[in-house]
Chains A and B, each alone.
Chain A
Amino acid sequence: MAAVVDMAETLAVPQEGRRRAFRAFLSNPAGVISLAFLLCAVALALAAPHLYPEDPLSMVARPFLWPGQNASYPLGTDSLGRDVAAGVVWGTRISLLVGFCAMALGISLGLLVGAVAGYFGGRVDDALVKFIEIFQTPPSFVLLVVLVAIAQPAISTVIVAIALVTWPTAARLVRAEFRSLREKDFVMAARGLGYGHARIIVREILPNALPPLIVSASVLVATAILMEAALSFLGLSDPNVVSWGSMIGAGRELLRTAWYLCAVPGVAIVLTVLALNLLGDALNDSLNPRVSAKR
């Protein structure tokens, strides 16, 4: 029972709370392994130009080399003789880039709208909730396809489109946090002291609303990676870059004869998304003192 905390500590607090949260996180093997895996993935993505300096779309060997058949191409080659390993490594770059950028953009947008709606309440809240609902009404993937179809299929537009589809989740979460926090006495005290709205939102409430947002951030990265994979599988993403989804899309018709062409990038997607979700769970458990106290 390393995480036995007394009542005073169950309040979200800095320093000691941060240390306690860190300890709780370390005691969760799934979280630690996931974090390690994701750090490796980031390292791989950063090292891609050094590991495979050539364009991963260029043909380098005989087509349909199976994994392990040729030591120079450990994951084999595809129907055009392109190195699958190079594709996976470069695909990591694209997937993580899209995942993190779309998450950052989505969280920023959600934070802005959610904070204003939750803090001010009343008519502002009503209007902004309606605005959020506009984005939530159509099925999100259909909206995503429409947005990408309208814009040019480039990585930047894919990122923006995914952010536009996912930000309502963040906005709702932030709104709920702000609604409960604005009733707290320390916010009342801040108003009584004459603090402006901006100061109260940014300095008083936001630091207390961050833990659940950090948790949802990792899940949003996973969602964005899946969405990008689905888009490029359908051939709606940037055709000039290799991504896990486009590799699966290219290997789809050869599933019976060369299933590894789909399986290898598929495993990459599964592991990354799983790691991000497990990381989110671990962060939730460690940042939420009531849960980590029970452990």
Chain B
Amino acid sequence: MPLLEVTELETHYPTSRGLLKAVDGVSFTVSAGESVGLVGESGCGKSTLGKAILGLAPVTDGVVRFDGEEVSRLGSGARKPFRRRMQMIFQDPFGSLNPRHSIGEILSAPLAVHGVGKAGDRKDRVARILAQVGLPAESIHRYPHEFSGGQRQRIGIARALILDPDLVICDEPVSALDLSIQAQIINLLVSLKGEFGLSFLFISHDLSVVRYFSDRVLVMYLGVIVESAMASQLWSRPLHPYTRALIAAVPDPARRRQVAPLDGDLPGPQDVPAGCRFHPRCPLSSDRCRVEAPLPRTWAPGHDVACHHADEVPRASDQP
């Protein structure tokens, strides 16, 4: 049984310009101990998906199961025990910490709310988690603004882990940080994954980060998953033209010729193209793509793709 099972999840927002389909029928699973990467351009709905799983964004339709139990329809009281087991690390380390609370307050409040341990034990627990994320013990008396971006993200990680969760959803945890700090935070997450036995859903637009971190990768485009595969499979044999474009966009000094970037911008989720959502930007698009939305099909064990022309994708065509 997978730890997290998402089935046909939809998050639609009514807006003045029509229905905004941020997440439009997404299914996937995360097994215990697995790291699943979720990649896609900004605005493709990947953050909304992460928040909908945690009940922080509305679920219009579909089911989220955690450890076999449906959590997507629970009220806030019934959801509370699950909150402890699923946590989130936010993108913006400046906005995600309350500027008016000291680090000690930020880290001990979750323990108090969930009634974990006594006041004395909580202090020890806070001190231990600070050491685990690599912050000095004196930090508890200081306030978020006294820390750098990387240190704040460590505080955010400590807050997410202090309740000892099973699943952590990382929403672009390093994209707001300097490149040199990014590597530190990624390494910290990798070591904590082993230490805590965590499962990750790692949301990022940066393929190189996802590649380093994930066992399996989901590629999202305009609210749907277009390809999912084991990380190594996806890199050696990307099937969807969108995946290929994303991989080609990763800077690589070994590549001699620069590939053409993807044409056009991501259409807004309010005017999703008919047929295959990707067809206006797709180099392989045909008449069929304009009318018929491709269903996901299994190409190889563990490798699914939603494209009519996946078999026409030439292998490593971006090489000269």
Decide whether A and B assemble into one complex.
Answer: yes
With A and B bound together, what is the CA distance between A197 and B84 in angstroms?
A: 17
What's the A-B contact tally at a CB cutoff of 8 Å? 79
Select which of B76, B96, B143 is within 8 A of A189 by beta carbon: B96
Q: Name the residue of chain A whose CB is nearest to the CB of B96.
A: A185
Residues of A within 8 A of B80 (CB): 194
> Contact between B92 and A15 (Cβ–Cβ < 8 Å)?
no
Q: Is A14 an interface residue (CB 8 A)?
A: yes
Chain B interfacial residues counted at CB < 8 A? 32
With A and B bound together, what is the CA distance between A219 and B280 in angstroms?
A: 57
Chain A positions 1 through 32: 1 when the CB is less than 8 Å from some CB of chain B, otherwise 0? 00000001101111111000000000000000
Taking the closest CB of chain B, its distance from the CB of A56, in whole angstroms, is 46
Q: Which of B110-138 contact A (CB under 8 A)?
A: 110, 113-114
Residues of B within 8 A of A207 (CB): 98, 100
Interface centre among A8, A9, A204 (most CB of B within 10 A): A8
> Contact between A185 and B145 (Cβ–Cβ < 8 Å)?
no
Q: Is B99 an interface residue (CB 8 A)?
A: yes
Residues of A within 8 A of B114 (CB): 194
> Contact between A192 and B143 (Cβ–Cβ < 8 Å)?
no
Taking the closest CB of chain B, its distance from the CB of A196, in whole angstroms, is 8
Select which of B56, B76, B87, B95 is within 8 A of A186 by beta carbon: B95
With A and B bound together, what is the CA distance between A196 and B91 in angstroms?
A: 23
Residues of A within 8 A of B91 (CB): 185
Q: Is B51 an interface residue (CB 8 A)?
A: yes
With A and B bound together, what is the CA distance between A199 and B112 in angstroms?
A: 12
Chain B positions 60 through 78: 1 when the CB is less than 8 Å from some CB of chain A, otherwise 0? 0000000000000000100
Chain A interfacial residues counted at CB < 8 A? 27
With A and B bound together, what is the CA distance between A184 and B101 in angstroms?
A: 15
With A and B bound together, what is the CA distance between A205 and B156 in angstroms?
A: 18
Select which of B88, B95, B143 is within 8 A of A184 by beta carbon: B95
With A and B bound together, what is the CA distance between A204 and B159 in angstroms?
A: 15
> Contact between B51 and A188 (Cβ–Cβ < 8 Å)?
yes
Interface CB pairs A-B, < 8 A, 21: A11-B94, A11-B99, A13-B144, A14-B99, A14-B100, A15-B143, A17-B99, A185-B92, A185-B96, A188-B96, A189-B88, A189-B90, A189-B159, A190-B98, A193-B110, A193-B113, A193-B159, A195-B109, A196-B76, A197-B76, A208-B99
Beyond the given A8-B145, A14-B99, A185-B91, please list 18 additional residue pairs across the A-B interface where CB-CB is below 8 A. Answer: A11-B99, A13-B144, A14-B100, A15-B143, A17-B99, A184-B95, A185-B96, A188-B88, A189-B88, A189-B97, A191-B56, A192-B83, A192-B87, A192-B88, A193-B159, A196-B113, A204-B98, A208-B99
Residue positions of A touching B, CB distance < 8 A: 8-9, 11-17, 184-186, 188-197, 199, 203-204, 207-208
